[in-house]
Structure 1
């Protein structure tokens, strides 16, 4: 931390952003000897405190004098509360972070300079809209394994990560109050816009930005693709999803939003928004902890907090409708050049320990479809046959489909010939397993069943990132020894990732009619509200 070693000063000079000058926080050396400069803790917006609480991020960032290296911030994590049941020992059941948290990190390999116009990968972290950061907390990735396997200068890329507000700070709102909805989504779009505006100064191309996210991060990107019903222009050209985490959003969420808002008022001991906006940071942090850690109801693993939890909401503005409906209606950003979406085969496994199925199943459905009739619930149940000795599979398969897989399927179906899709099936094929393959570093850091499958995964990711497709039908084919990966298209092409490699299949969530049925239910005014 601190001063950049003199031997790297020429390779990684200070970058003048106009409002601040940044030099590397430190230099990392990968296993193959590649030097990577890490420019950490760069502001992309004004601190969201005081009157800026519960409002969209304000730009430009504040002017800062002198050369910055980001080391003055021991942590820039947004206020995070991790429910005791999440698999992060030492963090689960705790609360940490700060409100002044709108920062990005930029990683630049040696050999890239201003004007090179290399591609950019911008990561948006996951972890249930409640915790996590651009650094190494929660579900995140490290590009070291990808950097370590750069073979030619034209394969180099820049890696950016960003924060967004979490819990009540980013996902609590009331349509009746002077506050923005979906603040975490606005934060994330603003962060990617920062990348578009400033990445050329690091050597990146503003026209070659791929946003990538997993879980809640992918859910945010899903909302970006359908933001404002497709109006305007997004600040990126490609999308790479790892498991979009969006519980089906109610088509009339005002009542649910107000319920969450009122629970926040009670937890903070406040009568109104003015009180929340002026409350001490300790009061809000305690309220966030109470509502996420001590009374976690949420939506069966997709989010945490009271009622529907702290999560995206249909607001009639940036989120005008449930994304699956907008995609079906053609109200999405068609200027995006390519999309890669995915899910693991058993996303929902373990998210429920309730073996009282099917008796308890209506409660799961009515979290977001309160008026669902018994007939509708039976219609849904019929989609998910379960073995008699494993009744909880009913809830697991429902959550796999409605929270994750059907968002992935609907995205790739909408983008058709510009979309690619895979399903991770290597056991246990549960949430986030695919990240260890696409971002493989070594078997100690990212243990995998097959080194060959990890390298194969990274080769496909390279080709997608670089905007290449080596066949006339735009198939990804990074090597003759790998199978061609055709676009999703009208044949619903999907790659299954199994122990011995990639296998071309057909999307079962589409061919079995699962997503079609669930979308019809979402659209039904009697059962979708």
Structure 2
């Protein structure tokens, strides 16, 4: 799963070595830890002496990049886990029963001026790009977005046929990455969404795609995803999922080497 530049990286890996590269999606981090401990199996890692694990941890903390996240360790970094002692239970459960630190006065990182509210971004977008709602359909699929996002999704879905599903998110304010709040929607407090019903339906479509399951009791009236994903997709708009045919203006690109 990737968003923005991470999605672009997945796209590049899918065509690496003309499609013959061994994809690292399921084992990259795992293999890196094994290599750091000079092991090839989990059993070897479990039996490794403390000095080997110390060197492996030192490598992961000091030499593996964190992707500019500022975390301790690779990518998102090392974090505590629920072990029954240091972390007794899930954070939500501990918060609910009052087992939390009351000496914290303010979570400074998550309030102004350290955080820009989504409404600020939305308002700025509206002022800079004032487009009447009636003109959105005419504009959609043309201009700058088609170069950066739409063609990539179109040809990806067309190549992988029934293994892929393509959609276009046009629910206002339609800012970059906004679909993630629908994809991972929990509540308007943590993942605000303009159309909660669309968020729940979106998640149901994702569940069906991942599990290869059909309609469930709660969503029997939900249409199946359109067939022929390269040529047909859903456009997610306020209040509905609308079938979209083809992709206006998206033609097979010339090779960058030509």
Relative to the length of structure 1, the TM-score reads 0.26
224, 241, 264: which one aligns with 2:13: 224
SS of the residue corresponding to residue 166 of structure 2 reads strand
SS of the residue corresponding to residue 192 of structure 2 reads coil
Distance in 1, Cα, partners of 2:162 & 2:235: 18
Give runs of aligned pairs for residues 215-294 of structure 1, distance below 5 A. 215-236=4-25
Distance in 2, Cα, partners of 1:214 & 1:410: 17
Going from structure 1 to structure 2, the CA distance change for 1:418 and 1:432 (only over 3 Å counts) comes to same
Whether 1:446 and 2:179 are equivalent positions in the alignment is: no
Give runs of aligned pairs for residues 424-443 of structure 1, distance below 5 A. 424-443=169-188
Structure richer in helix, relative to its length: 2
CA RMSD of aligned residues (A): 3.3
Going from structure 1 to structure 2, the CA distance change for 1:457 and 1:489 (only over 3 Å counts) comes to closer
SS of the residue corresponding to residue 160 of structure 2 reads helix
Give runs of aligned pairs for residues 403-482 of structure 1, distance below 5 A. 403-466=148-211, 468-470=212-214, 477-478=215-216, 479-482=219-222
SS of the residue corresponding to residue 151 of structure 2 reads helix
Q: Deviation digits for residues 153-192 of structure 1, max 9, x if unmatched? A: xxxxxxxxxxxxxxxxxxxxxxxxxxxxxxxxxxxxxxxx
| Matched residue count | 151
**Deviation of the 1:523 alpha carbon:** 5.2
Query: Does the CA-based 8 Å contact 2:13-2:21 persist in structure 1?
Result: no
219, 240, 246: which one aligns with 1:501: 240
Distance in 2, Cα, partners of 1:218 & 1:423: 15
**Deviation of the 1:464 alpha carbon:** 1.7
Structure richer in strand, relative to its length: 1
**Deviation of the 1:417 alpha carbon:** 2.6
Give runs of aligned pairs for residues 192-203 of structure 1, distance below 5 A. none
Give runs of aligned pairs for residues 286-305 of structure 1, distance below 5 A. none
Query: Does the CA-based 8 Å contact 1:419-1:487 persist in structure 2?
Result: no
SS of the residue corresponding to residue 497 of structure 1 reads strand
Distance in 1, Cα, partners of 2:178 & 2:21: 35
Distance in 1, Cα, partners of 2:17 & 2:257: 22
Going from structure 1 to structure 2, the CA distance change for 1:524 and 1:397 (only over 3 Å counts) comes to farther
Listed as ranges, the gaps of 5+ residues in structure 1 are: 1-211, 238-280, 282-287, 289-348, 355-385, 388-393, 471-476
